[in-house]
Structure 1
C-alpha cells in the first residue's frame, strides 16, 4: 500500500463521524478525499456504541442534524448494498413526575414545529407498547415513532463503502504522527507511512481528537469516560420490534437486542478514564466489567422491567466514550489553525448524530462556514480555561451525570468554580 503524496482534504479517524464526513465530501462536493484510520474502521468507540437513534434536542439546528441522520440511515443500504441495521422502532420517553411531564409537553410542541409527530401517552398506553414494563409510577410517556436503533459498525462500513463509491480513498493502519505547519496553516499531514500534502484536514479522531488537535496547536476539550451497558439473554414476550425506551428519572435506557434487552445509563458518579493521552493501541478493546459500579443501573432497570430479575447477562460492555464539558459535541473550524476542522466529543450520541454531523462538517470544510446555526456545538464556544485538563475533567464528569436531568432554565454547573468572576 502506497499513500498518495497529496490530497485536497484529509479526514483523520475511521469511526462513524469520519466515514460520514468522507462520504459527504465525496458524494456532495466531489472532493478529492483521503481518510486515515490508525487501526481498523470502527475500532475506537464506534464499535461498542449502543446504537440508539433519537432525534429531538432543544436546539432546532441539532434536531435537523439528527433528523438528517435518520433519513440517511433509512436509504443508505439501497445506495451501497450494505445493511445498516436501521430499525424504526420508535422511542418511548417515560415521565415519573410533573416536572418531567411539563418538559415532555413542551417537547411535543417543539417537535411539531420541526415537523415531527410526538404523541403524549397515558401510562397504560405506554404499557400496551411495551408490556414487560412496570408503569405504576408513571405520570405518562411521550412517543416519537420515527426514532429507532441501528448497528453502529454496519452503518460505518456502509458509509465507508459509499465514500469509496464516490471516489474517496480509505487507508487503515496509518497513524497520524504530526503536521507540517507554516503560519498557523497545515501544509502536510505526517503519518507512519509517509507525508501527504493537503489543503484541509478534518479531525474526526474520536477520543484521540484532543491529541491530534494538540499536534497542530488546537485545543479540543474532551474527557474519555467509562460508559457501561449490559446485553441480556433472550426474554420471553419481548417483541423484536419493541420500542427503545428512555427512562430519564431512573437515568436508564433500553433497547431490544436479538431477543434480549440492552440497557445502560448515566450515573451521577461517573468514572473518567485518563487525563493523559489515550493509548494508541486501543483497537477493539474494553475495560473489565465493573458490576459494583453498574449496580445502581441494574436496580433501576429491574424495577422498570421486572423480567430482568430472572434473565442471564450475555455480555457487559464497558468502554470509553469521549464527553465534553457541556454535553454538546464539537464541530467546526478551529480558531488556532486556519485549515483544521473538528468533529468529535459526541457524548455517547455519535450514532444518532453521525449522518447529520458528517453532512454539516463536509459542507463546513468546503465553504469555511457552517450551513446552519450550529453555535451550541461550535468549537469556538470554548476559551482559555478549557485548556486546563483538571477543569475539563471535573466539569465533563458533572455534565455526564446530568445527561438525563430536566432542562430547567438558568440551571448552572457547580464544578470548576470560581474560574471566571465579575
Structure 2
C-alpha cells in the first residue's frame, strides 16, 4: 500500500484527498493548518468564459475547471454547495466585445449554456429591489460556490473513505526517495499550500507571493437567494448567498504579506464600490468580514504537476482569484497522476521554480 501525504486542506488539497480516498491501494493523510485559507474566504464565482486574459493555458484550465463541477457533484452525490443562477456581466464600453468573446468560446464550453444581452429593464427584473440596473450580458451557466461548504464536504467524504486528517502545520523533508513529515515516512506527497508553498518543503522554492483578500457580507432586506451574480467592471463582484445576505468583494492587496487583520479603509472602499449597484448600503449593514490569502506568481499564472528530481511529488499554487474555478479540476488531476501517466502538464511547476 502506497502512503501519500497531502499538505494543505484548501480546495486543491481537499479534492486531491477525496479522489485518492476512493482508491483502496492508497493510505492517505491530509495535513492542514487551516489559517488564512483562501477557499474559505472566497466569493466563489464560476464564470471564466468572458475573461480577456490572453494566456491560453490559463483559459483552458479554467474552462476545464468550470466543466468539471458536474462530474464533481456526481462523485460527491451532493450539490448543496453549488448555485447556478447565472451571471450578469457589466461594462460601460466593452459589452459587445465581451459578448463576441463568449459566443466564440461557447461551442467548447457547454457549461456556459447560453449568452444573451439584456436591456436595463430586463436586468431590473432579475435583481432585488433597491439594486441599480444597467444593460448587461447574461451568462446562463454562471454559478456561485460556497467554498467553505465544499471543502468541508470533500474532507467529510474523504474521512468516511478512510483517510486520516491532521490539523497541524508541517514541513516536508526529502530523504532517500521518501518524504518525512512529522516523523512519519511517506512514499508520495502532494503540496497544495497556496501562498505558503515556499514554507512547505526544505530546499524547494517557487515564484509565488501572497495576496490579501477581504470581503464583506451585508444584511439588507432580500426575500430569497436565487438571484444572479453581478460582475461589474473593476475589482468587486456582488452576489447573494444562501442566507440571503449580499456579499461584496474581494480586495486584491499585494503589499500586505500574510496579514489577516481586517482593514477599515479597505472595507470602506468595498462599500463605496458597491454603492453604484446598492445605493443604500452602509457600514452598519455589514454583518461579517472575511480575510484570506491568495497565491500569485509574477505572471499571474497558476502551476500544477510533478516536480523534477522528486519521485511522486506533485505541487499546485498560484491559482489567485480563480482558485474555486480551477482548484477541483487540478486536485482531480493530481490524484489521477498517482494511478496513470498524465501525458502533458501545460502549466508545469518547473517553469516556476527558483530553487
Both structures adopt the same fold (TM-score exceeding 0.5): yes
Which residue among 94, 107, 116 is the counterpart of 1:112?
107
The Cα of 1:244 is off from its aligned counterpart by: 1.1
- TM-score normalised over the length of structure 1: 0.73
Structure-to-structure mapping, 1:278-357, within 5 angstroms: 287-309=260-282, 312-357=285-330
Q: Kindly indicate whether the alpha-carbon contact (under 8 Å) linking 1:68 and 1:356 is maintained by their aligned counterparts in 2.
A: yes
1:238–1:96 distance in 2 versus 1, CA, 3 Å: farther
2:179 is the alignment partner of 1:188: yes
After TM superposition, the runs of 4+ consecutive aligned structure 1 residues lying more than 6 A away are none
1:309–1:13 distance in 2 versus 1, CA, 3 Å: closer
Gaps of 5+ in 2: none
Gaps of 5+ in 1: 1-5, 279-285, 388-422
Structure-to-structure mapping, 1:5-404, within 5 angstroms: 7-27=2-22, 29-39=23-33, 44-56=37-49, 59-73=59-73, 76-78=76-78, 84-97=80-93, 99-115=94-110, 116-124=112-120, 125-131=122-128, 132-135=130-133, 138=134, 140-167=135-162, 169-182=163-176, 186-191=177-182, 194-198=183-187, 200-213=188-201, 215=202, 217-233=203-219, 235-237=220-222, 239-247=224-232, 249-257=233-241, 258-266=243-251, 270-274=253-257, 287-309=260-282, 312-370=285-343, 374-375=345-346, 377-382=347-352, 384=354
- TM-score normalised over the length of structure 2: 0.85
Distance 1:238 1:106 in 2: 34
Distance 1:331 1:256 in 2: 32
1:73–1:302 distance in 2 versus 1, CA, 3 Å: farther
Q: Kindly indicate whether the alpha-carbon contact (under 8 Å) linking 2:238 and 2:246 is maintained by their aligned counterparts in 1.
A: yes
The Cα of 1:76 is off from its aligned counterpart by: 2.2
1:62–1:211 distance in 2 versus 1, CA, 3 Å: same
Q: Kindly indicate whether the alpha-carbon contact (under 8 Å) linking 1:14 and 1:36 is maintained by their aligned counterparts in 2.
A: yes
State the SS of the aligned residue for 2:85: coil
The Cα of 1:75 is off from its aligned counterpart by: 6.2
The Cα of 1:310 is off from its aligned counterpart by: 8.4
Q: Kindly indicate whether the alpha-carbon contact (under 8 Å) linking 1:251 and 1:297 is maintained by their aligned counterparts in 2.
A: no
State the SS of the aligned residue for 1:102: helix
Aligned length: 344
Q: Kindly indicate whether the alpha-carbon contact (under 8 Å) linking 1:330 and 1:346 is maintained by their aligned counterparts in 2.
A: yes
State the SS of the aligned residue for 2:41: coil
1:254–1:339 distance in 2 versus 1, CA, 3 Å: same
The Cα of 1:63 is off from its aligned counterpart by: 0.6
Superposed CA deviations along residues 200-236 of structure 1, whole A, max 9, x for unmatched, are 21111222222214x1x33322211111111111x23
Distance 2:169 2:263 in 1: 31
